[in-house]
Amino acid sequence: MLKRKIHLALLVAIVLSAIVTTVGAQSKAGSPNATGAKGRLEGTWLVTATFTSAQVCDNGKCESIDVPPPFQVLITFMAGTSEDDGTLVDTNEFQLTPNPVCTPDQGTWQRTGSRTFIATQRNFCFDATAGYLPAGPTKIRATFSVNDPNTLLTGRQYIEGFDTSNHLVFIGQVNLQGPRVRAEAPPAP
């Protein structure tokens, strides 16, 4: 008899758990705050980056320099512990052009609103004229937004470059805009 009661209690617990899970998933999917309504950042985007300002700094004094020409960046956003955060990796056309030579950026992103996000990325740079010795890290802080059909990413980045002693040597501001990269089948044979 006791064994039967335990089995019945376990069965009731499993059924109740399934009902709660199903009802919770249905209410979340049907709510106005469902992920589709909030926009999705995950995926890869091919954006054009356009510098709006650039400065070189020495001993705390910064002066403006000519901005580099626009360039392309591939940014991949990955899911994190929830639909409101994750990790990212990006690489750009200037990644391997001296000098300095820098690693791809890696970082994290976080949702700040319905279709808006912030991110912080970091990388390491090396001096190609000195046997690729470390030249210092870069820190990039960004804001991103996605349009309603989730096909266009726009954003702004604030870039700080440091030397190996962590002194500020570069500041740049960049505007970003570009489409989501979509999967495509190859041409038919």
Paired strand residues for 156: 143, 175
**Host domain of residue 80:** 39-179
pTM of the model: 0.78
- For the cut 80, the answer to whether the pLDDT of residue 9 exceeds it is no
| pLDDT at residue number 15 | 32
| pLDDT at residue number 7 | 39
The band of 36, judged by pLDDT with boundaries at 50, 70 and 90, is: low
**Do 132 and 151 lie in a common domain?**
yes
Q: What is the CA radius of gyration of the chain?
A: 23
**Do 66 and 103 lie in a common domain?**
yes
Give per-residue pLDDT as tens, 86-134: 999 999 998 888 789 999 999 999 999 999 999 999 999 999 999 999 9
**Do 7 and 86 lie in a common domain?**
no
Pair of tokens at residue 165: 């002693």
For residue 70, cis peptide bond before it (omega within 30 degrees of 0): no
